[in-house]
Amino acid sequence: MALFTFSGGVHPADGKEFAKNSPITEYLPKGDVVLPLGQHIGAPAQPIVSKGDQVLVGQKVAEAGGFVSANIFSSVSGTVKAIEPRMTPAGAKVNSIVIENDGEFKEAAFEAKPYDQMSKDDVLAAIKEAGIVGLGGAGFPTHVKLAPKDPDAIEYIIVNGAECEPYITGDYRILMETPELLIEGLNIVLDMFPKAKGIIGIEDNKKDAIAKVEALVKGDARISVATLKTKYPQGAERSLIYATTGRSINSSMLPADAGCIVDNVATIVAIKEAVKDGKPLYERVVTVTGDAIKNPSNFKVRTGTNVQELIEAAGGFKTQPEKIISGGPMMGMAMFTTDVPAVKTFSCFLAFTKDEVAANQPSNCIRCGRCVSVCPQKLMPAKLSVLADHNQFDEFEKLYGAECVECGSCSFVCPAKRNLAQSMKTGRKQVLANRRKK
C-alpha cells in the first residue's frame, strides 16, 4: 500500500513506548489553579471576574479580547484569589486569574441547543463561546479558522492524527479510546462545509488506531482515512496538506487558500463537546513521559493545574532530570521550573535523565548538505542561520527564510551540532514582524 508523505523530514526515535499503552485517566487538581489570559494566538482575554468572586467549573472568567482571541473558563470551583502575572510553561510571565480550589468541583449548568435545530452560525457561535483553540500546540482560535473568506472554496477538512512529535501519545489514546467522538466532531465541521470531504491522517506506526477509525467510517462517502508514512514532521500543517491532497501553501497563504482546513484530533473532539454538549474548553489530554518519569501517563487535565502535581501523579522522577520540556523534543520549549500551569496548548511534559543537547559543542559548518536534504520546505538552513545570526533579515527573506516551519529537522541531523533551528526561528520571527509593520 502506498503511504501518503512529503519530501524531506527525519526519523527520530519516537519514544512512544513509554506512554502509548497508558489509558487516559482523569486528574483533578489539588491546589490552586492559574489561568493565564494569553493561552492562544492573538489578543489576551479580558477578565470578567474580580478578586473574591466565587466561580464554578465551566464558568466563563475571561472574555476574548478581539476577533483573534478566545474565552477562558474556570476548571474548578472556588474563589478568585488574585489577578496577577504568573509564569507559563513557555517561560513568560502573563497576567493570570488565580483561583483557590475548594476541591468540590461544582459545575455551572451546561446548555446546548438541539443540534438538528442549529444553523451554521449557531455552530460557529458555540465553538467561539466555548473558547476552543488549536490543541495541537499552536493555539489558534478555532472559530476564526472555521470562518474562511470563501466557505464554498473549502474542499477538505483534514484531521491531524499523525502525532509525529516523539513521545507524545495523547491523540493516539483518544483515537484508541473514544474514536466515535472524533467522527462525531468531524461530521459537525463537515456539515458547516457541505462541499468538503473529511480526511483523517494517521501515521502507519499506529495501525491499531487506523483499524479502529477505518471501521467507524466504513461506507461513509464523506470521510476517509489516509495512512501516512511515519516521518517527522508529517503532522506539520503544510506537510499534512501536501501528503493528503498534493496541494502546497507558503508563509503568505492560509490552508483555506488551498481549499483546506486542518485541525488536530483533540480539537475536533472539543468541537463535538461544545456543540452537542454545551461544554466549554477547560480540560485536555496531557502526556507526562520521558525516561526520568516513574510511571509515564496520559491524563485528562484541567487547565490551570500545576505541572508539579502532574509529575507527582505520574509517580514523580526516577532521578532528578537534566532536562525538562513543555511539549515534544523537536519543537517543545525547555523549562526551568515545574511551578507553572498546564494551559490549553500544553500537550506534554517531558523529562530526560540526560541533556544530550547541552553536551553538544557546535563547530563550523562542514557543508555536508544534510540540513538541505531533510528540510520539508527545501530551504538552505546552514546559510539562512548565518544570515539570521548577523541580523541580515532582508537577505534572509530573499532566500525564503520565512518559509521555515520551525520543525527542527535541520538541527537534528547537523553533524556539526549547530543551532540551526533556533537561528532560523529568530530570523523568521523578525521577517514576519517586518512584514506586519509594512
Place of cell 553533524: 415
Q: How far apart are CA 438 and CA 277, in angstroms?
A: 44
The per-residue pLDDT for range 179-235, each reduced to its tens digit, is 999 999 999 999 999 999 999 999 999 999 999 999 999 999 999 999 999 999 999
Mean pLDDT of the chain: 96
Catalogue the E-assigned strands of 111-203: 156-160, 197-203
164 is in an annotated binding site: no
Gap between the Cα atoms of 308 and 119, Å rounded:
43
Q: What is the SS3 assignment for 214?
A: helix
Whole-number percent of the chain with pLDDT over 90:
94
Would you state the pLDDT for residue 360?
79
Q: Cα separation of 321 and 95, whole Å?
A: 29
- In the predicted model, is pLDDT for residue 42 greater than 60? yes
More confident residue, 266 or 435: 266
Same fold, 27-110+280-352 and 115-277: no
State residue 144's pLDDT score: 96
Query: Which band of pLDDT confidence, cut at 50, 70 and 90, is reported for residue 400?
Result: very high
More confident residue, 356 or 348: 348
The confidence score (pLDDT) of residue 377 equals 94
Distance CA 394, CA 401 (A): 10
User: What's the fold here for domain 115-277?
Assistant: Rossmann fold (3.40.50)
- The CATH class that applies to domain 27-110+280-352 reads alpha beta
Do residues 310 and 296 lie in contact, with contact meaning Cβ atoms separated by under 8 Å? no
Residue 402 pLDDT exceeds 80? yes
Q: How far is the CA of 67 from the CAs of 102, 144, 251, in angstroms?
A: 33, 8, 21
Which residues are within 8 A (CB) of 194 and not within 5 positions of it... i.e. 6 or more apart? none
Tell the residue number behind the cell numbers 472559530, with chain if given.
Answer: 143
CA angle 240, 244, 250 (to 5 degrees): 50
Q: Which pLDDT value is given to residue 394?
A: 94
Tell whether the torsion through CA atoms of 179, 181, 182 and 184 is positive or negative. Answer: positive
CA distances to 17, 169, 286, 301, 337 from 297, in Å: 11, 9, 8, 12, 20
- Rounded to whole angstroms, how far apart are CA atoms 391 and 385? 10
For position 136, what pLDDT does the model report?
87
Instruction: Determine contact, residues 411/404, Cβ cutoff 8 Å.
Output: no
pLDDT surpasses 60 at 1: no
Q: Which of 109, 142, 139, 110 is nearest to 125 (CA)?
A: 142
pLDDT score at 2 = 62
Closest CA to 422 of 372, 393, 384: 384
The response to whether 260 counts as a known ligand-binding position is no
CA 9/CA 370 separation, integer angstroms = 11
Query: At what angle are helices 179-192 and 207-217 packed, to 10 degrees?
Result: 50
Average pLDDT over residues 426-433: 93
- pLDDT tens by residue, 133-164: 999 878 999 999 999 999 999 999 999 999 99
Residue 298's alpha-carbon distances to 147, 232, 313, 337, 423, in angstroms, are 32, 22, 10, 21, 33
List, in sequence order, every residue forming a beta bridge with 430; answer none if it has no partner.
none
- On whether 348 is known to bind a ligand per the annotation, the reply is no
- Domain ranges, ordered by start, for the chain: 27-110+280-352, 115-277, 370-437
Residues 412-421 have pLDDT tens digits of 999 999 999 9
Task: Tell which residue, 142, 140, 156, 165, has the closest CA to residue 226.
Answer: 156
- Rounded distance, CA 46 to CA 36, Å? 10
Edge-first strand listing for the sheet containing 46-47: 46-47, 60-63, 72-73
Tell me what the mean pLDDT of segment 171-183 comes to.
Answer: 98
